[in-house]
Amino acid sequence: MPQTKELLHVLAVDDSLVDRKVIERLLKISSFTAVESGSSALQYLGLDGEKSSSVEFDRVNLIITDYSMPGMSGYQLLKKLKTSSALRKIPVVIMSSENIMSRIDRCLEQGAEDFLVKPVKLSDVERLKDYMLKGQGEDDKVKAAYKRKLQEDDPSSQSLSKRPPLVN
Amino acid sequence: MDIVNQLQRQYVDFLSSLYREGLLDDQFLQIQKLQDESNPDFVNEVVTLFFEDSEKLLHNLAIALSVDQQHVDYQKVDACVHQFKGSSSSIGAQRVRNICVSFRTCYDAKNLEGCLRCLQQVKDEYYLVKNKLQTLFRLEQQIVAAGGAIPIMG
């Protein structure tokens, strides 16, 4: 049962300070941590192998990460998270300023829940709460297949969602 | 009441002109939507971060492009412009963002002259939008000081 009264904890990863501020506000969730790199994210989650985790990692409900970052990319971070038995169940969403189909496919195949094209809007973020609240019952591959979308068709909604209407 | 109405109309006209002239796009409206009683200064805070970030980037770009052709670190230029493009896009500074897009073709081609031209253009557009946004905030402050509410544009 989703515990809607529980504080939801989101970890956002982005090298841009402006974007971290915007994402934080977009999420409007009580518990929020922003870090500026993939390696900081892993450190925070206790995956760097050196320090012990600074948070109980089953308390992070969502990780939202930028794709292009210096050092570790969002994709590389995603891979590390999905190959960790401790962390792979945490939903991960990728953000990118570039709308490249092969990039989107690769991220979804690697287990990302969704792929948001920047700049991120309120409507994109509305759905993220669903990922955090629902359980892990669904088959991940099925979810990924339904999320494919031709983004050129629908400039008003830049993230993967239902197929765009054929008539405006 | 009259003064408030006057100021509000001025505000709407001014903001409309910024959209019309392409200085701001829809994303700015998105940012405004995130401001409410619990976060009453949100737009100002984000835009201030944008100003600080941008000025750092412009400074770094000027340094990266102040050397001779063989010594330009185009990767550094790429990193700066990419960041500038991202942040300007996130707050809706459309013209700044667009220059960043053309800037990329110049540094991809390792065209120093082109890059210097783009740098000047992006600086001009940045200072223009900065100036306009500061005027906008001043108008907001005047409206609030006169006891009015800032009009919400749809």
> Interface pTM (ipTM) of the complex?
0.82
Indicate the range of A94-103, A131-140, B97-106 predicted with least confidence: A131-140
Q: How far is B68 from chain A (nearest CA, A)?
A: 26
Nearest CA in chain A to B89: A119
**E strands of chain A, at which residues?**
9-13, 31-35, 62-66, 92-96, 114-117
Q: Is the preceding peptide bond at A119 cis, omega within 30 degrees of 0?
A: yes
Buried b / exposed e across B27-45, counting CB within 10 Å, b at 16+?
Answer: bbbbbeebbeeeeeebbee
Residue B65 has pLDDT above 90, yes or no: yes
Say yes or no for a CB contact (<8 Å) between A97 and B92.
Answer: no
The Cα-based distances of B41 to A4, A25, B49, B87 in angstroms read: 28, 12, 12, 18
| A positions 124-163 inside 8 Å of B (CB) | none
Q: How far is A19 from chain B (nearest CA, A)?
A: 7
- Cβ contacts (< 8 Å) between A97 and chain B: which residues? 82, 85-86, 89
Q: pLDDT band at A124, cuts 50/70/90? A: confident
Chain A with chain B: Cβ pairs closer than 8 A: 52
Say yes or no for a CB contact (<8 Å) between B30 and A119.
Answer: yes
Indicate the range of A55-59, A102-106, B57-61, B81-85 predicted with least confidence: A55-59
Pick from A14, A15, A22, A65 the residue to mutate for testing the B interface (most B CBs within 10 Å): A22
- Cβ contacts (< 8 Å) between B34 and chain A: which residues? 22, 25-26, 122
Task: Report residue B108 as tokens.
Answer: 């991809």
Say yes or no for a CB contact (<8 Å) between B46 and A26.
Answer: no
The predicted pLDDT at position A60 comes to 87
Q: What whole-number percentage of chain B has pLDDT above 90?
A: 87
**Residue B37, SS3 per DSSP:** coil
Residue B50 has pLDDT above 90, yes or no: yes
Residue of A91, A90, A82, A97 whose CA lies nearest to A14: A97
Nearest CA in chain B to A95: B86
The predicted pLDDT at position A6 comes to 59
CA B142 to chain centre: 22
**pLDDT, mean of residues B41-45:** 94
The predicted pLDDT at position A34 comes to 87
- Cβ contacts (< 8 Å) between B39 and chain A: which residues? 25
Say yes or no for a CB contact (<8 Å) between B31 and A15.
Answer: no
Cβ–Cβ contact B91 with A under 8 A: yes
Query: Which among A70, A119, A122 is the nearest to B33, CB-wise?
Result: A122
